[in-house]
Amino acid sequence: MTETMRKPRISFFLNGRAAVAAVSPGDTALTVLRRQFGLTGTKEGCNEGDCGACTVALGELRGGTVEYRAFTSCLLPATRLHGRHVITVEGLGAPERPHPIQQAFLDHHATQCGFCTPGFVMSLFCLFARNPAATRAEIAEALEGNLCRCTGYLSIDGAGAALAEKIKINAGDIRGQILPAYCGEVAEQLHRFDRPIETVEVSEPSGERCLAYHLPATLEQAFDIMWGIAETADYRVVAGGTDVMVDANVKGAVPKHLVDVSRIAGLRSIRDDAGTIVIGANVPMTDILLHPAVRAKLPLLCAALSQMASLQVRNAATLAGNLATASPIGDAGTALLALDAVAVLTTKLGERKVPVESFYKGYRQTELCAHELVTAVEVPTADVAWDFQKSAKRSAVDITAVSSGFAAQVEGRRIVSARIALGGVAPTPVLARRTMELLTDKEIDAALIEQAARMAASEVEPISDVRGSREYRSALVRNHVAKHLSKLL
């Protein structure tokens, strides 16, 4: 069945009621919530995922229950609300009856101008709804994507900690304290509502901007749609949308066709095959980080992903998107290069496998052909010594100056083989090939570390930009490599 919406309408649950919205293909959830529903508690700050003021809770059925995750609504295509439950700050409480999280903010003087407060409240709501026993560290992680320019984070952190304590004391009534009463009925409604939709095609025939937002439910449909779009046409694939929507919001770069692959169920799995973990192209980074096999067998990848962006961004962003965007400072790409991962590329005509080291072709250029999708990433799970380093001004929501991934097969003090991937020092993430050769079949000692660190720095020619000068970046490469190798001593 194909559901075509000439007058594009999406249906979803909004706070305590069912809602229908007319959307244009380039709309974000933020614009729809504010302009069509007047829910201006959801704030518009940076419009590029950095400040968290627009955070909402998006509820999705997972294993029979609705799980709420925090998303920056400025980067969330409005179409994605279809069949989901959205909770905004208005759905939690009101001035005369604040929600316990809002009350904690009041009690701890954690709000001043209040612009950031709805975003903080929604981030904490998602945390406590999922994990009422959240620790201080988990509270900090949940809030890493929310900025406040006036209150000071100590009072906000204090509000979160006091709330966690209160929940612990009243452990019997957790759901009643955190989840609004209407949430009790939503799971059943979403079961009925989240019927398989093969394609929601949202067209805007006369628009000068985006003309169509395609939301295929299967790979076959995605290829049919892509096949119908001329190779030279202005179209773009959307996965998590955390790069695509920034381009749309900030640069006005909304293509004529957006092909959203996020609902293709077949791409949303992680498989632990013998010696390889296969990660589907749709799996959000949060799910990758939560997966037991990934945690146990791919610590390097986990280290890279957990330092990426913020929780809100990781709830949306995918590995495939990080690879395909081919940013020189793509943290996941750098980790995958070190791990000798392989990208699975698929078209209507078949599949091919390309090692990540051959996938990058130049600045923002990849091996991907027209109408070809990254459908999975295969990551070998060999038992290696590993390390990942990222240098940036802040530990969260900051872009890398230099990152590096290290994976080595080691026997005693002998390095059998080593891979060193560097991000931020060339037009794409690159391997330090001469250094890798130098290290092969060598005993580790201080002299070798010094020699390898110098060689790695001499292998790259970074540029100077706002994140660091050429000299600074070269020094970082030397220090990162020395740090990686010191772990073998």
Candidate residues 53, 70, 86, 481; the one interacting with ligand FES per rule CB under 6 A: 53
Q: Is 161 left (phi over 0), alpha (psi -120 to 50) or beta?
A: alpha
Among ligand FES, ligand FAD, none, partner that 111 touches (CB below 5 to 8 angstroms by kind)? ligand FES
For residue 151, list its beta bridge partners: none
- Based on the shown chain and the rule CB under 6 A, indicate whether residue 160 belongs to the binding site for ligand FES: no
- Based on the shown chain and the rule CB under 6 A, indicate whether residue 49 belongs to the binding site for ligand FES: yes
Among ligand FAD, ligand FES, none, partner that 89 touches (CB below 5 to 8 angstroms by kind)? none
Among ligand FAD, ligand FES, none, partner that 123 touches (CB below 5 to 8 angstroms by kind)? none
Candidate residues 74, 129, 288, 392; the one interacting with ligand FES per rule CB under 6 A: 74
- The span from the CA of 40 to the CA of 358, in Å, is 47
Show the site string, 41-70: x = touches ligand FAD by CB under 6 A, - = not: -------xxx--------------------
Give residues with Cβ within 8 angstroms of 392, minimum separation 6.
398, 399, 400, 401, 467
Considering the complex, what minimum distance in angstroms separates the CB of residue 55 from ligand FES? 7
Task: Give the relative orientation of helices 100-107 and 117-130 as an angle to the nearest 10 degrees.
Answer: 130
The C-alpha angle 318, 319, 321, rounded to 5 degrees, equals 65
- The span from the CA of 270 to the CA of 294, in Å, is 9
DSSP string, 268-321: S-EEEETTEEEEETT-BHHHHHH-HHHHHH-HHHHHHHHTSS-HHHHTT-BHHH
The C-alpha angle 320, 141, 264, rounded to 5 degrees, equals 30
- The span from the CA of 295 to the CA of 315, in Å, is 17
- The span from the CA of 132 to the CA of 186, in Å, is 20
459, 404 Cβ separation under 8 angstroms: no
In angstroms, how far is the first alpha carbon of the chain from the final one?
61
Q: Which stretch binds ligand FAD (CB under 6 A): 56-64, 100-108, 113-121, 323-331?
A: 323-331
Q: Which residues between 397 and 416 bind ligand FAD (CB under 6 A)?
A: 397, 399
Token pair listed for 380:
């070998």
Specify the residue, 101 or 238, whose C-beta has the smaller distance to ligand FAD.
238
Specify the residue, 34 or 99, whose C-beta has the smaller distance to ligand FES.
34
Candidate residues 18, 20, 133, 150; the one interacting with ligand FES per rule CB under 6 A: 150
- Based on the shown chain and the rule CB under 6 A, indicate whether residue 44 belongs to the binding site for ligand FES: yes
- The span from the CA of 271 to the CA of 288, in Å, is 11
Show the site string, 102-131: x = touches ligand FES by CB under 6 A, - = not: ---------xxxxxxx--------------
- Based on the shown chain and the rule CB under 6 A, indicate whether residue 78 belongs to the binding site for ligand FES: no
Show the site string, 230-269: x = touches ligand FAD by CB under 6 A, - = not: ------xxxxxxxxx-x--------------x--------
Specify the residue, 97 or 394, whose C-beta has the smaller distance to ligand FAD.
394
Token pair listed for 193:
């509502």
- Based on the shown chain and the rule CB under 6 A, indicate whether residue 318 belongs to the binding site for ligand FES: no
* Contact set with ligand FES (CB under 6 A): 44-47, 49-54, 72, 74, 111-117, 148-151
List contacts with ligand FAD (CB under 6 A): 48-50, 236-244, 246, 261, 281, 308-309, 313, 316-318, 320-322, 324-325, 330-332, 368, 373-374, 397, 399
